Structure 1
């Protein structure tokens, strides 16, 4: 599944109404940075946005706090809406910084016909085809993408660490996922074509039924499940995400998308420092705190920044 369609399901918390007022962003009068790349660290305001799901807002808060730690004034405009709503705002300078997922940004907003799969290919395509007003900064190792996930017991029983390990045993197993997973290249079709994996049975569910999938997995009603890699259940229930060395699931690295003239070198360095530290395991832990433990996103962001040595 492309990141554009599954983000909200990854956490099970969807903000249903698009915040259209947040889309107004900043123009040349409300955003002193428009056309002035030197002002971000010297009295101007950087507008940090986010999409309308908890993980994006959390990442936006991390970006905002890191910029503020460098003396940059920040205006937060979170929960804007889907990519179809916020992308043009960034291109036009209404939003200056937003956390993106590189694979979905490329496939949905920049080049729908792209065949890029790994991080290097995806970012090269983005750098070549993004509008001149915007750019991507460094990508984090952290990703939120589709996966085939199993319980620790199943992983131990069949010696599973990679999707390739499924080939000799998959015929004995049932895999669960959204109904569309059966016919998608980034699904059962790709598993067969790329890894030679054919499951004995497919258990279809409604798209986004992550909690149901986890429950079936834990009860051994299915032995493998198409979960999103930052689903808090992976940490809480000690599930095992099988590695995907052949990139069945295209790269979805957390990547800052910025409006060039609004973000100076100090701001870029602060955002790149986040990408250098942020891992998928970090996102998993933070989403567990946010979703399962009901902690405040600002406090979760601060705690991670401190643990990464990015703020004091």
Structure 2
């Protein structure tokens, strides 16, 4: 789903093979989400709306496991502090959940500072964490508000298989550019338009991916994306740096020396009417514990060999961090 201020460019029809792949991968992603028990339309049920009660918050998540897990972490910590919490998980991409946050269909969601800034301000150029956070203060406007970003960061990355990296001697994204004509690229559909997506890769590194070589995969760098990469259906993919699949599959993250992908610290983002001093204090305590190592640990619990449900992994983590009791 796209907001009205984020038009999607019409594309030429893809060749049959690529179009079939896109259909298959999209179906696989949909089945994966269905298997996880996500609602087909999470915004269609549950309570919402800004009724003036800041003690009652509906928490949303994007449609990938880390976002769902962190949303459950927020929910557990807030419940321990007396908040009445509802959840609407697996909403979709930022193009779907930011409008829901603005109209108070949800009151809180975990997000990533750099991508959120670029979504809210297409002209933003900040890449360093401090610069991004400062710019976000303005870009959030009056409707949205943010708690303290966590030290934990989960950035987009251009990822290839070890075989591809060895074949072309790849170390950085720039090294992939001379082979662009041979590269099929898998990523969420919105990656084709976002400043840090295909436009940024072309502007910063000369990596120009042809329209018929872009394969939209709707699971946010998750299992369907990894399968497409490891099976050779795509040559490179956008996968988050904290994904356990990178280590499990001996994948290679290409270095980004020009900071095409900005700082991506995890931060709680509120509808401004739902932000209170009490909720901020609780979530600031959560953020202080949420390092990159802890994000990887949570992801390994959920997406690794144990396949723990996000809610269960979140509950165990909150207890282990001593956040399952009133703050202060």
Query: Quick one: distance in 1 between partners of 2:264 and 2:59?
Result: 20
Q: How many pairs align?
A: 290
Match of 1:39 in 2: none
User: Mapping of 1:82-93 within 5 angstroms?
Assistant: 82=92, 83-93=94-104
Once the two structures are superposed, residues 83-108 of structure 1 have per-residue CA deviations (whole angstroms, 9 ceiling, x without a partner) of: 45543453355533221233343333
Contact 2:46 2:88 in 1 (8 A): no
Q: Which residue of 2 aligns with 1:13?
A: 33
Match of 1:206 in 2: 215
Superposed CA deviations along residues 120-154 of structure 1, whole A, max 9, x for unmatched, are: 33332321132324311222344444312245677
Match of 1:225 among 215, 218, 236: 236
Question: What residue is the counterpart of 2:82 in the other structure?
Answer: 72
SS in 2 for 1:139: coil
Residue pairs, 1:278-289, within 5 angstroms: 278-289=290-301
**Structure 1 residues 248-257 or 278-287, which shifts more?**
278-287
1:129 counterpart = 2:149: no
In the TM superposition, 1:34-49 aligns within 5 A as 44-49=55-60
Q: State the TM-score, normalizing by the size of structure 1.
A: 0.69
Aligned-CA RMSD value: 4.4
Q: Deviations over 1:18-55 (max 9, x none)?
A: 22334751443xx632xxxxxxxxxx333333344443
**1:61 Cα offset (Å):** 0.7
1:304 corresponds in structure 2 to 317
Q: TM-score, normalised by structure 2?
A: 0.66
1:101 aligns with 2:112: yes
Cα offset for 1:67? 1.9
Report the Cα distance in structure 1 between the residues aligned to 2:232 and 2:96, rounded to whole angstroms.
40
- Match in the other structure for 1:178: 186
**What is the alpha-carbon distance in structure 2 between the residues aligned to residue 284 and residue 76 of structure 1?**
26
Please say if residues 186 and 215 of structure 2, whose CA atoms lie closer than 8 Å, have aligned partners that are also in contact.
yes
How far apart in 1 are the matches of 2:108 and 2:198?
36
Quote how far apart the aligned CAs of 1:261 are: 4.6
Unaligned runs of 5+ in 2: 9-27
* Partner Cα distance (2:203, 2:244) in 1: 30
Contact 1:155 1:161 in 2 (8 A): yes
- Per the alignment, residue 25 of structure 2 pairs with none
Structure-1 separation of matches of 2:29 and 2:262: 18
The change in CA–CA distance for 1:195 and 1:133 in structure 2 (over 3 A counts) is: closer
1:294 to 296, 302, 307: 307
Q: Is the 8 A contact 2:180 2:207 kept in 1?
A: no
Mapped to 1, the partners of 2:44 and 2:193 lie a distance apart of 38
Deviation digits for residues 250-296 of structure 1 (CA, Å, limit 9, x no counterpart): 34432211234533333212212332332445434433432453312
Is the CA contact 1:10–1:228 (under 8 Å) kept in the aligned structure 2?
Answer: no
Are 1:90 and 1:259, in contact at CA under 8 Å, matched by a contact in 2?
Answer: yes
| Matches of 2:271 and 2:214, distance apart in 1 | 39
State the match for 1:37 in structure 2: none
- Deviation digits for residues 53-92 of structure 1 (CA, Å, limit 9, x no counterpart): 44332211100112233x2223122227344554345335
- Note closer, same or farther for the CA distance 1:135–1:289 as it changes in structure 2 (3 Å cut): same
Distance 1:66 1:54, change over 3 A: same
Q: Greater CA deviation, 76-85 or 240-249?
A: 76-85
Unaligned runs of 5+ in 1: 34-43
